[in-house]
Structure 1
Amino acid sequence: MKITVIGGTGLIGSRLVSTLRDAGHEVVPASLSTGVDLLTGAGLDEALDGAEVVVNVTNSPTFDEASPEFFRTTMGNLLAAGERAGVRHQVVLSIVGVDRVPQLDYYRAKTLQEDLLKQGPTPYSIVRATQFFEFMDAVLSWTADDSAVRLPSTPLRPIAADDVVASLAEVATGRPLNGTLDVAGPDVLPLTEIGRLTLSARRDPREVVTDEQAGLFAAVEGDVLAGGPDARLAPTAYKAWLDAH
């Protein structure tokens, strides 16, 4: 099977390319570095030539009010190019609970991306993942100073990038869902506890201070980002991943 991975040189994309190639598929990684520009459409026709499946794991370059226009333009270009190429399955990586946090610009933008995919001409699948283990250091840095890290107690169910890739690979090589699959890590943890585990593993002496107004996730109410009862639970626990890294 020939599969094009849009965003195929990033954290998820590069691992997905390797996983799919190891499984015997012909895979084309597409990104700015390979000459493909989703915003202008340059290089898309060449990258999708002969592809049966397209997997889109791109992010907007900003997380502010400009992000909806990014996804509107790039999804329009990708869906049109896919239709010209005869692509039979479009897959998008999204975020668990994304449609339940309208107060965040980026989440509204990702919801728009999902809606455009659903309204498009091609059978589709949406894989929604919870927050990646690999991004937790960045999350802590948003509200940190020299002595403390301030975090809300928002419940999360973080997941390893490799587990996200495994689900994406399975969905990409299967029949289109024409729906959504949620994937999440095995454990629900308050962000404050994730912070303490992370600092301890890094031998960082700073303390975690509970502050329900601190950072991006302070805007999230309840457990909408933890994944519901129908989420597929991945095997890798955060503490085990920290110990291994």
Structure 2
Amino acid sequence: MKFAVIGGTGLIGSRVVENLNAAGHQAVPHSLSTGVDIITGKGLEAAVAGADVVINLTNSPTFDDASLAFFQTSMDNLLAASEKAGVGHFVILSIVGVDQVPDMDYYRAKVLQEDILKAGPIPYSIVRATQFMEFMDATLSMTTYGDTVRLPRTPIQPIAAADVSTIVAEVAAGSPLNGVVNTAGPDVYPLDELGRLTLTAKSDGRSVVTDDTAGMFAAVRGDVLTARNHARIAPTHYTDWLS
């Protein structure tokens, strides 16, 4: 099978390309660096020509309300080009619990992306993953003030990017789900405890103060960002990933 992996040079995309090619498929990465612009449409028709499956792993450059316009335009352009090319399966990567956090602009934008795909002309699959382990450093940096990190007690079930990539590749190589599959790491942590664990493992001198009003995850209510029934649980534990 031939796969056009849009955003195929990034953290997840590069691994998806590698996994698919190792399985005997032909997966081609596309991104701005390869001359494909999903906002203007430049290079898009050529990128998806002949593809059996399109995997869209691109991300908005901002996390504010401008992300809504990004996903609207990019999905409109991608679906139009894919339909013209006769693509039979369209896959996106989304977030577990994304429709349960209406106060977060970026999550509303990802819901919009899902809705555009569901209403579109192409059979589809949506892979929803929990928070990536690789993003923990950035999460800590966002609420660092001097030597203190302020974090809420939001339950988080982190997953390794390598595990996400494996599942995305498997779903993309299968029949369209016309639905959603959730995937998560094996362990749930309150975010403040996860921060402490991370800083200790890295011998980082910062300390964590529990603050349920701090950072973007303060908008999350309850355990909506953790895996629900029938989720695929990935094998990598956060403590193993850290080491």
Same fold judged by TM-score > 0.5?
A: yes
CA–CA separation in structure 2 for the residues paired with 1:84 and 1:42: 15
CA–CA separation in structure 2 for the residues paired with 1:173 and 1:122: 15
Query: How do 1:57-96 residues align onto structure 2 when only pairs under 5 Å count?
Result: 57-96=57-96
Deviations 1:139-163 (A, max 9, x none): 0001112221110000010100000
More off after superposition, 21-30 vs 90-99:
21-30
Q: Is 1:138–2:138 an aligned residue pair? A: yes
Q: Which letter maps to 1:237?
A: H
TM-score, L = length of structure 2: 0.99
Query: How do 1:137-176 residues align onto structure 2 when only pairs under 5 Å count?
Result: 137-176=137-176
Partner of 1:190: 190
- Consecutive aligned runs of 4 or more in structure 1 exceeding 6 Å deviation: none
Q: Which letter maps to 1:49?
A: A
Supply the RMSD in Å over aligned alpha carbons: 0.7
CA–CA separation in structure 1 for the residues paired with 2:161 and 2:113: 21
CA–CA separation in structure 2 for the residues paired with 1:147 and 1:140: 11
Partner of 2:125: 125
Partner of 1:4: 4
Partner of 1:218: 218
Aligned residue for 2:4, secondary structure, equals strand
CA–CA separation in structure 2 for the residues paired with 1:147 and 1:115: 42
Q: Which letter maps to 2:228?
A: G
Q: Which letter maps to 1:160?
A: A
CA–CA separation in structure 1 for the residues paired with 2:23 and 2:193: 37
Shift of 1:227: 1.7
Q: Is 1:241–2:238 an aligned residue pair? A: no
Query: How do 1:102-117 residues align onto structure 2 when only pairs under 5 Å count?
Result: 102-117=102-117
CA–CA separation in structure 2 for the residues paired with 1:195 and 1:75: 35
Partner of 1:18: 18
CA–CA separation in structure 2 for the residues paired with 1:152 and 1:181: 27
Q: Which letter maps to 2:208?
A: V
TM-score, L = length of structure 1: 0.98
Shift of 1:205: 1.8
| Unaligned runs of at least 5 residues, structure 2 | none
Aligned residue for 2:12, secondary structure, equals helix
Deviations 1:5-43 (A, max 9, x none): 010011000111111111111111110000000001110
* Count of matched residue pairs: 243
| Unaligned runs of at least 5 residues, structure 1 | none
CA–CA separation in structure 2 for the residues paired with 1:81 and 1:7: 16
Partner of 2:30: 30
Q: Which letter maps to 2:25?
A: H
